[in-house]
Structure 1
Amino acid sequence: MKTGIVACYGELLLRLGAPGRQRLLQSPVLDVHIGGAEANVAVSLSQWGHAVRMIGRVSANALGDAASGELRRHGVDTSRVEAAAGRMGLYFLTTGALQRPSEVIYDRADSAFARGTPADYDWPALLDGAGWLHLSGVTPALGAAVAQTAIDAARTARRLGLGVSFDGNFRPQLWQAWQGNAPGILRQLMEQATVLFADHRDIAVVLGLSFDQAETTERNRAAASAAFEAFPGLRHMACTLRQTYSVDHQGLGAMLFNRNGEVHLAPERTLSAVVDRIGGGDAFAAGILHGLFSQLPDAETLGFGLAAGCLKHSIEGDFNRVSQAEVHALMGEDRLDVRR
């Protein structure tokens, strides 16, 4: 599965986090990172040698400039990121510890991105020269106009012959804020997907089904069968398998399903000292896309995606700042002593 430019449509965000393991505003200091589900994928793919274009809107001020500039520093083309009236979308992160979970507070209403309308996006022009479009379920959760823009993007991409990847990323907080029809909107996006990142919970929400098998792997297997039946254009579906023993000690495995009925399972890897799990799913998605674009065997594609997702847990911030060589080293169980 070869592709040209990979276009990613979504909101660039500022992440404001309490330092270390402090509670939010426990001290009057916040750490700042640039992120966003689609931007995280864009940065990973760019680092691994793919041509990537970001599409969206940022605030027409120093904050928007900084966000776009950070993507350019990682090799992402931001010429289709428009500076517009409105504020930057924010989210606040409190990193958990031991049995206290991490917490996210969204502050994205009325951002420059969220104020955009379908009329603001000329999709044939924005996708000119691209071979692939990546979207996530975070974007349509922001409001009706943004949801329609994402649907227009996906439909235009398929009409132009592009591949489309879609990450379910169901965010109940965002959908509830405007009483959005999550199942109906997400279904319209999944219908356009060539590659879908989703598990049994996402498919249950969208298709209104219940998966009651005893094992998570079997629930995902049944959900993948239902997805392939419901979405004729779907070629691959992938998901992670997460075990949470504490905030710092987790396990991560993964599954990859093909329309031809093949199922690949990557055994769980132990993550015993998690630094930052935000963006781990995006790192996994980028790894799967890299494998597919590079025409790696499916088992190797899944291994690359899982290794990339695991490495993200060692990197502070939203972006997965690791090279192909580092991902391949983990796949090969390279030694963990100092590299000299």
Structure 2
Amino acid sequence: MILCFGELLLRLTAPGRELLMQTGRFDVHVGGAEANVAVGLSNLGHATAMASAVPDSPLGRGAVSALRAQGVDCSRVATRDGRMGLYFLSAGAGLRASDIVYDRAGSGFAIAPEDAWDWDTLLDGCTRLHLSGITPALGDATARAAIAAAEAAKARGLTVSFDGNYRARLWDAWDSDPRAVLTRLVGLADLLFGNHRDVSLLLGKEFSGDGEDRRREAADAAFAAFPNLKHIASTARHVDDADRHRLSARIDTPAGSVQTQEVAISGIVDRIGGGDAFASGVLHALMSGQDEATAASWGLAVAALKHSLPGDASLFRHADIEAFLEGGLDVRR
């Protein structure tokens, strides 16, 4: 059982690539970085559970129902006072970038006190804890809760994966010290989803992502600073325009690195959640006993396919990924 701890959100997207409030209509999807990973892994055949908090309202119940429909165990999702966290998306088009507006202050998850989470109970029966940098960015209480979760998981002998997911707008909204918080969390992780920019933030030193040697320099520095780390998984994205990106994947270990070829993704439907899809593909392969090269390929495949699907999470199954890796682009009959 993989436990994902984070906030469940509703995403309201302006339809047809409109600007927000252009016509005052929205498409609604359930999201949240950790929930996306839980859904992605569930669809790849893993037992997953979500630890979160939602209001006892149609919005909260609807979000939980959406996760349950994808096979995620939601028995650890509590109902609490507060509101449902929202975010609004205006999807990019051509040379106009996508834009996100958060509306999650005062949510039931964000205002829950640190001691609201009973980690002995929540982690019972689990083998891995997955966290992201979004949860500690919400405020002091959630930052302390994320650290307590990671510490409890390590004390129980669980493995911990952490996705940097740095969100400057969230950290800037309160008197935060992101480097101090994220350093503690990465120090407890065996797998980090992050790139040279994340390492630069953690270590207070600039690293470049230009070229194999420079990317390896950042990885070496991270492994030296965080001896518990076994893997660092990352992607490199080149944006030609909103409809065409080029994506490659990489996994570093203390002993070396593997990197995929770049894949061109055109006709993009929805890029939100691509990083979470990558995380679910990498986790699936590593937890299935595959080597790092296979894990990088699977992560890239799930991420690439996610760009074809509206919504936050990957809903693709094992056969879909295998067909993609085999180059099966024709109609399957």
- Both structures adopt the same fold (TM-score exceeding 0.5): yes
Q: Distance in 2 between matches of 1:309 and 1:22?
A: 24
- Tell me whether 1:114 sits opposite 2:102 in the alignment: no
Counterparts of 1:216 and 1:169 in 2: how far apart (Å)?
22
- Residue equivalent to 2:225: 230
Of 33, 51, 58 in structure 2, the residue corresponding to residue 55 of structure 1 is: 51
Over residues 60-110 of structure 1, what are the superposed CA-to-partner deviations in whole Å (9 max), with x where a residue is unaligned?
Answer: 111100001100000000000001110000000000111000000001101
Tell me the alpha carbon deviations over residues 193-251 of structure 1, each in whole angstroms, 9 at most, x when there is no partner: 010000000110111011147x2443321111111101111110010010000011110
- 2:320 and 2:4 map into 1 onto residues whose CA distance is 24
Within a 5 Å distance, the mapping from 1:248-327 to structure 2 comes to: 248-259=243-254, 261-327=255-321
The structure 1 residue matched to 2:331, chosen from 313, 320, 338, is 338
Q: 1:116 to 1:219 in 2, by over 3 A?
A: farther
Percent identity of paired positions between Structure 1 and Structure 2: 49
Matches within 5 A, 1:106-145: 106-145=102-141
Contact 2:271 2:307 in 1 (8 A): yes
Which consecutive residues of structure 2, in runs of 5 or more, have no partner in the other structure?
none
Look up the match of 1:190. Answer: 186
The alpha-carbon deviation at position 117 of structure 1 amounts to 1.3
Structure 2 counterpart SS, 1:78: coil
Count of matched residue positions in the alignment of Structure 1 and Structure 2: 333
Aligned equivalents of 1:212 and 1:50: distance in 2?
35
Matched, 1:33 2:29: yes
Asked whether 1:242 is paired with 2:237, we answer: yes
Q: What secondary structure, in the 3-state scheme, does the structure 2 residue paired with 1:253 have? A: strand
Letter in 1 for 2:80: A
Equivalent residue number for residue 170 of structure 1: 166
Q: What CA distance in whole angstroms lies between the structure 2 residues aligned with 1:217 and 1:185?
A: 29
* Letter of the 1:337 counterpart: D
Post-superposition offset of 1:179: 2.9
For structure 1, list consecutive stretches of 5 or more residues without a partner in the other structure: none
Task: Summarize deviations over 1:250-274 as a string: whole Å, max 9, x none.
Answer: 1000110112x22000111001111
1:154 to 135, 150, 153: 150
Q: Which 4+ stretches in 1 moved above 6 angstroms?
A: none
CA distance in 2, matches of 1:218, 1:322: 34
Using a 3 Å threshold, how does the CA distance of structure 1 residues 115 and 245 change in structure 2: closer, same or farther? same
Give me the whole-angstrom Cα distance separating, in 1, the residues matched to 2:83 and 2:71.
25
Q: Secondary structure at the match of 1:97?
A: coil
The separation in 1 between residues aligned to 2:122 and 2:202, in whole angstroms, is 28
Give yes or no for contact 2:196–2:207 (8 Å, CA) kept in 1. yes
Q: Which amino acid aligns with 2:125?
A: G
| CA–CA distance in structure 1, aligned partners of residues 292 and 130 of structure 2 | 20
Instruction: Tell me how far apart the structure 1 counterparts of residues 212 and 30 of structure 2 sit (CA, whole Å).
Output: 34
Match of 2:11 among 4, 11, 15: 15
The CA RMSD measured in Å over matched residues stands at 0.9
Counterpart position of 2:38: 42
Instruction: State the distance in 2 between where 1:82 and 1:73 align.
Output: 18
User: Measured at CA, do residues 210 and 114 of structure 1 come closer, stay the same or move farther in structure 2, by a change above 3 Å?
Assistant: same
Change (3 A) 1:262 1:91: same
TM-score by length of 1: 0.96
Q: Is the 8 A contact 2:54 2:78 kept in 1?
A: yes
Which range moved further: 325-334 or 166-175? 325-334
Q: Determine helix, strand or coil for the equivalent of 2:290.
A: coil
CA distance in 2, matches of 1:146, 1:159: 20
The answer as to whether partners of 2:199 and 2:207 remain within 8 angstroms in 1 is: no
Scaled by the length of structure 2, the TM-score of the pair is: 0.98
Q: Is the 8 A contact 1:60 1:86 kept in 2?
A: no
SS at match of 1:306: helix
Paired AA for residue 263 in structure 1: S
